[in-house]
Amino acid sequence: MDNISTLDALPLWGFFTLTLVLVLLAIEGGYRLGRFRVTHAEHEKEAPVGAMVAAMLGLLAFILAFTFGLAAQRFDTRRQVLLDEANAIGTSYLRAAMLTQHEEEIRALLRDYVDVRLNAVQTRGALAEGIRQSEVLQNRLWDHAVALARDNPDSIVVGLFVQSLNEVIDLHAKRVTAGVRNRIPGAIWLALFSVAALSLGAMGYHAGLVRTSRSLAILAVGLTFTVVIGLIADLDNPREGFLNVSQQALIDLRESMKPVAQP
């Protein structure tokens, strides 16, 4: 049903910790290899190695920027699709009030639909069930629309309602695609981690080659790269983390859909 990224098997804090460990291991491994080369091999000139390390770190920066751009673009898409969906549901709800048949049933189903959408996001582990319930409600709403269209083939109001309801159903598919299936491909993650390990390992190798002692700056460098990679993972994960798409548009819509109490 949904194409969950393999990285979702880890919570974000576990992803951050694992990334930090891998980064520090790459630097330490490169450093030890550099010290080994100094004592057990012919003298290696430091300048060419430094130039190659700089080139690799530049390539790493490029891949980080590219991957961050992909994640940010997907985040913006999820936010825009949510706003479009809230607008489409609100339009359908308002147009349903002009119908002469089944208007109360339709408006009640639309209220339930918004509740299901909110619960799927706000309740952990409820996404799959939320998608299933959404599709059930869509089918019930569409059955009403078909009946209305058959009974009122020339009604402009019915035509407008069917149009807005069709947009609601289309936006469901777009939201599922943008929020669940359209993730950063695994090949890009593999390339990012590979280039990061090789680049930071080369940096450690250069440090060992010039016989510098270990510095606390290594920890700062490792944390810096880990934070950036963790931020990319957070942007790419629509289900947990600190950077989540606000559901305020749907919450406000649900507040406006409360039935008016009869005096």
Between 4 and 230, residue with greater pLDDT: 230
pLDDT at 42: 62
Q: Which residues of 192-219 are buried (b: 16+ CB within 10 A; e: fewer)?
A: bbebbbebbbbbbbbbbbeeeeeeeebe
Q: What is the mean pLDDT of residues 246-263?
A: 75
Task: Report d(CA 263, CA 261) in Å as an integer.
Answer: 6
pLDDT at 2: 40
Backbone angles phi, psi at 155, to 5 degrees: -80, 125
pLDDT at 30: 84
| Predicted structure pTM score | 0.77
Q: Are 6 and 179 in contact (CB under 8 A)?
A: no
Task: Report d(CA 163, CA 148) in Å as an integer.
Answer: 13
Q: Summarize pLDDT for 140-190 with one digit per residue, the tens.
A: 999 989 988 888 887 888 889 899 999 999 999 888 888 777 788 888 888
pLDDT band at 220 (very low <50, low <70, confident <90, very high): confident
- The phi-psi region of residue 217 (left if phi > 0; otherwise alpha if psi is between -120 and 50; otherwise beta) is alpha
Residue corresponding to tokens 């993650």: 189
- What does the DSSP assignment read for 175-210? HHIIIII----HHHHHHHHHHHHHHHHHHHHHHHHT
Q: Summarize pLDDT for 54-104 with one digit per residue, the tens.
A: 888 888 889 999 999 988 888 888 889 999 999 999 999 999 888 888 888
Structure tokens at 144: 């009403």
pLDDT at 6: 56
Q: What is the mean pLDDT of residues 242-253?
A: 84
pLDDT at 44: 57
pLDDT at 263: 40
pLDDT for 218 beyond 70: yes
Per DSSP, 6 falls in state G
Q: Summarize pLDDT for 103-134 with one digit per residue, the tens.
A: 889 899 999 999 998 888 877 777 888 889 99
